[in-house]
Structure 1
């Protein structure tokens, strides 16, 4: 069926549509209340099928590449919003902008249904009555919570009341001792009220902490003083200073978008009870331009899809076409009226102006502090689809088939993102199967953790083709390159200080000079992945050796241990087996010994 025929038979139903190029690569995922009307708006049909003349340059370029169209019909426009967002995060289409800052933010909460309420942290709505939330906090939530328990005489731990006995916290005057003593509700409530005032005012909280820090310093308790100093710094870090005072208890979530030719900044500011309590931002590289309307609707859907405990009125700098449907969607998922406001004057407009000033400052500083020259050169050399803002690099490690592991390191915004590193215990025995297992497990996690712009593999053309085949079968759009040592006499050349590495792409092979910054950039990623894989392998091997030694001491030979591991994979699995299951590999006597050891 031709593209024209597919468009002509589209239903007038809600759904999502997908555009593909001549090679079957996914270009774009969109959603529509009416698929027929929406898709037709991209095209002119006479004298031949071509892009509509009123399209932006970016969308026109996309339509010119479109050869085929797929679509999925859903029940409602809300379902289309959710499906579109999910597919973009999993498949990383070329012309959609992937917003990577999809984390949920922590809230501090207190449950008044408890006899002696205490504060804790959550990232989602808790199904209980009488709960009050404070936040969200982009940074410092745990520091604020710890400070509250440092300064207020509250029940310090969840299990404190169960003991029915006064503990150390009472002895050091950090708790009133309701576990054993009869504490009037009014007295305990005073401590709660004090804590709430400190939570709502970072300046009051940091002043109290500074007093305590000075006391510790005078007592020569320098480690405790330094910890409080660092805590104060973290608590203050996410706060945007403002002279705007609403003199009320109004709450607002403020979103601002600012951009230049290459970079896009999204800034979020959270106002609670008339005061700005925290802010966060994310920066994205623009590969093919962008549509601000797409940014606003995807930003709101992604941020609120996690159902944070509080939905405040939303302030945006400008309106967009689908504002009504997004507002309706948010109202449905929260079961209360959501408000999206585009202020034109007054204090709400001042908040938007404040957000835009800060977003512009972030954009300006971003250009000064991050040099993407090498990445741009690499983009041109390797003919990458996208600027490699977020890169994942993979390596595997083992010793004679034992302690087989995989590692993934992440390079984001010109620095290593160690919180996003992942390590894997692998079952596969050969290098090819190990990489297939590692990459497949990563692909299976795309729904929770979106794909990067580029994969780098420690290996040659065979592993590169493996990765491309896996991605193609999954429909995911990621650039892939591989790097391997040059082989001399069938052995990898590892001359110290002059490592001759080869870079492979799907179309070409590059042998760059060792002084080439582009080669060094790729080598840096490969070496970090190698370091991570080797480190995890050593830990795994040490644990295996300890387990093996235990079995050896009890009469199970090294050969039998290896036989067990080859058959069952890991000691953790072996520990869960019955005597009969172990007996399928070893004799009954050995099975009894192993089972008794792991009772």
Structure 2
């Protein structure tokens, strides 16, 4: 539909009054904005009835050439669909929370008579009990440490557990009760697991009552050592209880505060479970200009709880837009009442103020870092006489051991920061071992042929780890592919191979360019070069180790894992198999004469 033919007011007037999701689309078919509506007709019409006074909204409406809607059965379904589409499409005028990480949990396993306490990240369809999600991995590990100190539950894997003949170090430092060697019976261990579960679920009073009974029972039986240990455990739980009361009572809630400034947005989430402060996590969603705090808070909450269960209460810094709708949607998703509260008093108000102070510090730090990165990019532009700051840079390095299993790395930096999702490795084949020039040429050819096909944007600056020889290979490849306008620099370590004395080789310059050791431009180059080196070495080591772990039997056609296992069991190892004759080999179950002949020829031809 052309922009001239599209009448937004007429279109909005014929829409249904049911809930749903609408998408604003420009003349090129790009989705500009995704929004939800309780009443599609009213919500979409409101954009075009009067000026909003918001420059961001007005700019978006000027570009609208079409609108698409999806009708949903419920308002909650509309909220869920909106969050899903924003994550998938990432429209230019929406707040977007990039939150692809799987959140960490503490897990007490359920597939063993002596369950273990472990860190868990991933699918929640696992045996045992999951506690969380926690805001960070460090919060999980701190809680695990508390559990090990108080209840001495094991953290070793089942294989290690099954093969112990004496207690390990964890028992010696009083972090485990050594069930692996029978130092505690199953019933006593199960009581410890129940105690730990109560603590993790915030049932501290019930836990303390049970521990007091255990202490009194032990005392009546004259088991004073056991009674003293239980008393210490009660004292530790009481200390945790005191700390939790200072933090926020006995409830489960999250505190979410959001702000923006300097073109970036920040959201801080503080998690409290069972009155225990589990730490905080900072997020930096992408933010269109002109986004109001209420809109930012609403968008963040909708996306944050898209894949996690919300607590009964969410405490916020400002009232989000459509708060009642948000509460209803979150309640349906959680299967219980969820309240979003912004009028706070007393302890909870102080907690929110602390979260706001954390938010302010995080935002200032982010802005300072961003300013520092901008200075480094500008310094690099000046040092290399580039037309503009190099917003996208790629760096290549080669790694091998004596020419074995050569790997080339390509790391990508955007806006001065590593973009790890865009990193690539190239396994180098069909070259003379140790020929770094040929390896670099092959990697660059493969990479830039793909870039010409549109796989990724062209870099504003290409960095090569090496000297004049590597630079010549890069220039040759770029000329052959008609990409000679891509700036390229080779970074050599210099004669003493010390940081700060790097030599930069540029095309058509006979002498290397040397930057001062305190140059921000040099520091950025060093960071990118070191990252390319790390990525290349890691790839090479992984490829080399994998090759060295392979068995010679893996390369024999038709010899599957079952028959390989039978051969190894019959002969005791590949050396003995290599020495065996055809008749010896065919005595093994499943090995025919033809296969025995093939195995024999494989080892003797290889030899």
Q: What are the superposed Cα offsets for residues 201-246 of structure 1, whole Å, 9 maximum, x if unpaired?
A: 9xxxxxxxxxxxxxxxxxxxxxxxxxxxxxxxxxxxxxxx999737
TM-superposed CA distance for 1:59, in Å, is 1.5
Q: Looking at CA atoms only, which structure, 1 or 2, has the larger radius of gyration? A: 2
Aligned residues: 473
Is the CA contact (8 Å cut-off) linking 1:144 and 1:199 kept in structure 2? no
Is the CA contact (8 Å cut-off) linking 1:253 and 1:269 kept in structure 2? yes
2:177 alignment counterpart: 175
Q: What is the 5 A alignment of 1:447-462?
A: 459=448
Q: 1:261 and 1:546, CA in 2 relative to 1: closer, same or farther beyond 3 A?
A: closer
Is the CA contact (8 Å cut-off) linking 1:15 and 1:80 kept in structure 2? yes
2:117 to 111, 116, 119: 119
Q: What are the superposed Cα offsets for residues 503-534 of structure 1, whole Å, 9 maximum, x if unpaired?
A: xxxxxxxxxx9979998798668645643564
Q: 1:588 and 1:529, CA in 2 relative to 1: closer, same or farther beyond 3 A?
A: farther
Q: 1:590 and 1:248, CA in 2 relative to 1: closer, same or farther beyond 3 A?
A: same
User: In 2, Cα distance between the equivalents of 1:146 and 1:311?
Assistant: 24
User: In 2, Cα distance between the equivalents of 1:548 and 1:127?
Assistant: 33
2:22 alignment counterpart: 17
**The residue matched to 1:362 in structure 2 has which SS?**
helix
User: In 2, Cα distance between the equivalents of 1:547 and 1:278?
Assistant: 42
More helix as a share of residues: 2
TM-superposed CA distance for 1:267, in Å, is 0.9
Q: What is the 5 A alignment of 1:367-446?
A: 367-372=367-372, 373-374=374-375, 407-409=410-412, 416=418, 423=424
Is the CA contact (8 Å cut-off) linking 1:16 and 1:84 kept in structure 2? yes
User: In 2, Cα distance between the equivalents of 1:304 and 1:103?
Assistant: 13
TM-superposed CA distance for 1:313, in Å, is 0.9
**The residue matched to 2:354 in structure 1 has which SS?**
helix
TM-superposed CA distance for 1:336, in Å, is 2.0
RCO comparison, higher one (Cα < 8 Å, 6+) = 1
Q: What are the superposed Cα offsets for residues 181-216 of structure 1, whole Å, 9 maximum, x if unpaired?
A: 673745763586479769989xxxxxxxxxxxxxxx
User: In 2, Cα distance between the equivalents of 1:593 and 1:40?
Assistant: 80
Q: What is the 5 A alignment of 1:251-270?
A: 251-270=252-271
The reply on whether 1:466 has 2:472 as its aligned counterpart is: no
**Structure 1 vs Structure 2 CA RMSD:** 5.6
User: In 2, Cα distance between the equivalents of 1:314 and 1:422?
Assistant: 38
User: In 1, Cα distance between the equivalents of 2:554 and 2:136?
Assistant: 51
Return the TM-score normalized by structure 2.
0.59
**The residue matched to 1:325 in structure 2 has which SS?**
helix
Is the CA contact (8 Å cut-off) linking 2:270 and 2:280 kept in structure 1? yes
2:540 to 518, 524, 538: 538
Q: What are the superposed Cα offsets for residues 375-395 of structure 1, whole Å, 9 maximum, x if unpaired?
A: 8869999899xx97xx79586
Q: What are the superposed Cα offsets for residues 44-74 of structure 1, whole Å, 9 maximum, x if unpaired?
A: 5xxxxxxx41241111122223334444444
1:138 alignment counterpart: 136
2:83 alignment counterpart: 85
Is the CA contact (8 Å cut-off) linking 1:408 and 1:421 kept in structure 2? yes
TM-superposed CA distance for 1:22, in Å, is 4.5
User: In 1, Cα distance between the equivalents of 2:442 and 2:78?
Assistant: 37
Q: What is the 5 A alignment of 1:106-255?
A: 106-110=104-108, 116-123=114-121, 126=124, 131=129, 133=131, 136-140=134-138, 141-146=140-145, 148-149=147-148, 152-157=151-156, 159=158, 163=162, 167-169=166-168, 172=172, 174-177=176-179, 180=182, 183=185, 185=187, 189=191, 193=195, 245=246, 248-255=249-256
Is the CA contact (8 Å cut-off) linking 1:257 and 1:359 kept in structure 2? yes
The reply on whether 1:304 has 2:305 as its aligned counterpart is: yes
**The residue matched to 1:168 in structure 2 has which SS?**
coil
**The residue matched to 1:245 in structure 2 has which SS?**
helix
The reply on whether 1:31 has 2:36 as its aligned counterpart is: yes
- Structure 2 residue runs of 5 or longer lacking an equivalent are 204-241, 431-438, 463-470, 493-502, 558-594
Q: 1:596 and 1:522, CA in 2 relative to 1: closer, same or farther beyond 3 A?
A: farther
**The residue matched to 2:158 in structure 1 has which SS?**
coil
Q: What are the superposed Cα offsets for residues 347-376 of structure 1, whole Å, 9 maximum, x if unpaired?
A: 333322222122123333444455243488
Q: 1:247 and 1:362, CA in 2 relative to 1: closer, same or farther beyond 3 A?
A: closer
**The residue matched to 1:255 in structure 2 has which SS?**
strand
User: In 1, Cα distance between the equivalents of 2:304 and 2:199?
Assistant: 28
Q: 1:526 and 1:549, CA in 2 relative to 1: closer, same or farther beyond 3 A?
A: farther
